């Protein structure tokens, strides 16, 4: 059996200076809702084994896996739909992704680009219908590669990744990742760069203590800004959250800060509930003056997702010899590897922006004493996500957490 990958990839990148028309709304909303559900489960699962800082793009993984799912059949296809939370209708999934990718690639005032590509072994027969689906619905390019020359094949794929991520993601593959048994590689790249709507003054950045855990403190370069932000508290989750907008009103970074130094694990354990509640409450509140202390940080993560997906998230069959990818080729294939590499940099200049002004009244204000200055001091491990929130589409682009800031 040939491998659908000796390298089936999900790439992602977030690079930021601060750091980092939908034709069928129902189709886009169905796909984005599935991506939301997959995203929370993905981050929660990865966090169980990723003990240091994390940056990832569940969306990037979701797109790459959805490209594979389009060629799956039988119980293999059913597993994809279950794990990825895809619509029951394949045409709805395809149309949803067609419009979602087009929408995200046309976001103004920030740099946000999604790119897909299929690298096919020179002698491997891929069905024309599958190629057409990738081109039409996933906006994917297709290139023939000689996997017998593994170093050359790796160079071709790595160069594509480097090009699509503005040189931020390099050498995601090594020579041993592909060989003559490789049938094809599916790759997705997500790149983002943008400025804060309200930049931090570098002169206000000073070293401040950050509590890595209850026993360990280190001084880290910490930015400061007093300004109007959407802020809310989440007492039932013992946390608070803030929305930091970028230069585009549809993109923002949301930071969820546990009240306790060791509270991050409890947050990630209930991530779907926490992020949903945070989003709802931020949408129901006005901006108010907040004093924000935020560490500069830079994180790069490389994730081997085979075991995460196959053993922990229930996507076992696509990696097995029982895999059914008849929609891709009449030659049996299976997924061998799923790799994701991601990068984020956060500093004073900023990145994405989503400042959402909602008319709902101050439902939470009753338990916030407005007379007291609101201080949002990110001096302990925290979770964050970068989110696109347009009129017809709402979807997380990147997610992660910082346990020990590295500038």
Residue among 262, 265, 200, 198 nearest 230 (CA)? 198
**Structural contact between residues 197 and 205, judged by C-beta atoms closer than 8 angstroms:** no
pLDDT in tens, 333-377: 888 888 888 888 888 874 322 211 111 112 223 334 444 679 999
Give the domain CATH number at 157: 3.30.497.10
Residue 63's domain comprises 2-194+298-345
pLDDT digits (tens, 9 = 90+) for 260-304: 999 999 999 999 999 999 999 999 999 999 999 999 998 888 888
Answer yes or no: do 229 and 157 share one domain: no
Number of structural domains in the chain: 2
Does residue 407 lie within any of the structural domains? no
82 domain residue, yes or no: yes
Which CATH number belongs to the domain containing residue 216 in this structure?
2.30.39.10
Residues 52 and 181 in one domain: yes
Q: Return d(Cα 262, Cα 264) in angstroms, integer.
A: 6
Please, are residues 11 and 60 in contact by the beta-carbon 8 Å criterion?
yes
d(CA 179, CA 91): 34
Tokens of 310: 């196959």
Q: How many helices (H) does the chain have, and how many strands (E)?
A: 9, 16
Across the strands, what pairs with 399? 56, 385
Average per-residue pLDDT for the chain: 84
Residues 31 and 7 in one domain: yes
Confidence at 390, pLDDT banded by 50, 70, 90? confident
Q: Are residues 10 and 157 in the same domain?
A: yes
Q: How far apart are CA 229 and CA 200, in angstroms?
A: 13
pLDDT at 301: 86
Please indicate, yes or no, whether residues 15 and 156 belong to a single structural domain of this protein.
yes
Are the CB atoms for 242 and 348 separated by under 8 Å? no
**What's the pLDDT at 334?**
86
Q: What is the dihedral of CA 294, 296, 300, 306, to 10 degrees?
A: -10
Q: Could you tell me if residue 109 is inside a domain?
A: yes
Q: Is 399 helix (H, G, I), strand (E, B) or coil?
A: strand
The pLDDT of residue 24: 57
């Amino acid at each position: 059996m040939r491998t659908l990958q000796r390298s089936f990839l999900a790439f992602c990148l977030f690079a930021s200076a601060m750091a980092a028309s939908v034709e069928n709304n129902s189709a886009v909303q169905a796909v984005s809702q599935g991506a939301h559900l997959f995203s929370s489960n993905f981050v929660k699962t990865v966090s169980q084994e990723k003990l240091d800082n994390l940056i990832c793009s569940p969306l990037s993984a979701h797109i790459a896996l959805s490209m594979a799912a389009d060629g799956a059949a039988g119980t293999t296809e059913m597993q994809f739909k279950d794990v990825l939370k895809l619509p029951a209708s394949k045409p709805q999934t395809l149309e949803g992704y067609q419009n979602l990718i087009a929408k995200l690639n046309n976001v103004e005032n920030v740099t946000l680009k999604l790119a897909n590509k299929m690298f096919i072994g020179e002698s491997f027969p891929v069905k024309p219908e599958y190629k057409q689906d990738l081109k039409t619905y996933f906006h994917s390019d297709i290139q023939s590669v000689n996997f017998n020359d593994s170093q050359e094949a790796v160079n071709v794929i790595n160069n594509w990744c480097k090009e699509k991520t503005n040189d931020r993601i390099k050498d995601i593959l090594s020579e041993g990742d592909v060989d003559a048994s490789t049938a094809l590689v599916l790759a997705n790249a997500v790149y983002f760069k943008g400025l804060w709507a309200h930049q931090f003054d570098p002169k206000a950045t000073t070293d401040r203590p950050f509590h890595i855990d209850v026993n360990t403190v280190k001084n880290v370069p910490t930015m400061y800004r007093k300004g109007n932000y959407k802020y809310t508290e989440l007492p039932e989750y013992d946390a608070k959250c803030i929305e930091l907008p970028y230069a585009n009103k549809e993109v923002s970074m949301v930071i969820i800060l546990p009240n306790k130094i060791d509270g991050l694990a409890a947050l990630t354990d209930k991530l779907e509930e926490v992020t949903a509640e945070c989003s709802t409450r931020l949408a129901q509140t006005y901006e108010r003056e907040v004093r924000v202390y935020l560490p500069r940080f830079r994180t790069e993560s490389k994730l081997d997702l085979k075991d995460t997906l196959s053993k922990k998230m229930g996507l076992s069959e696509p990696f097995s010899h029982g895999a059914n990818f008849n929609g891709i080729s009449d030659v049996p294939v299976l997924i061998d590897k799923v790799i994701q590499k991601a990068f984020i940099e956060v500093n004073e200049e900023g990145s994405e922006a989503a400042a959402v002004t909602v008319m709902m009244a101050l439902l939470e204000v009753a338990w916030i004493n407005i007379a007291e200055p609101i201080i949002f001091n990110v001096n302990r491990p925290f979770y964050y996500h970068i989110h696109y929130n347009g009129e017809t589409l709402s979807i997380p682009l990147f997610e992660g957490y910082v346990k020990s800031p590295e500038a």
